[in-house]
């Protein structure tokens, strides 16, 4: 499931495409990348938590 940053990034990228605004497109790509990193960190944290919760 996409994070808020990913959705915000997609929206900015689409708006940048529609308005031919390269800066807005770059901001969108950055937001999407931040969202992807956050998602990977969350998944890794969940795996660590699962591993440490094992009996």
Helix or strand or coil: residue 33?
helix
The tens digit of pLDDT for each residue in 20-52 reads 999 999 999 999 999 999 999 999 999 999 998
- Is residue 45 within 8 Å of residue 19, measured between CB atoms? no
Nearest alpha-carbon partner for 16 in 24, 27, 8, 7: 24
Sign of the CA dihedral with 33 first, then 37, 42, and 46 last: positive
- pLDDT of 55 reads 60
Question: Is the pLDDT higher at 38 or at 55?
Answer: 38
pTM: 0.76
């Amino acid at each position: 499931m996409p994070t808020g940053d990913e959705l915000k990034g997609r929206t900015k990228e689409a708006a940048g495409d529609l308005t031919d605004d390269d800066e807005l497109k770059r901001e969108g790509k950055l937001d999407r990348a931040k969202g992807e990193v956050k998602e990977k960190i969350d998944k890794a944290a969940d795996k660590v938590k699962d591993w440490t919760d094992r009996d």
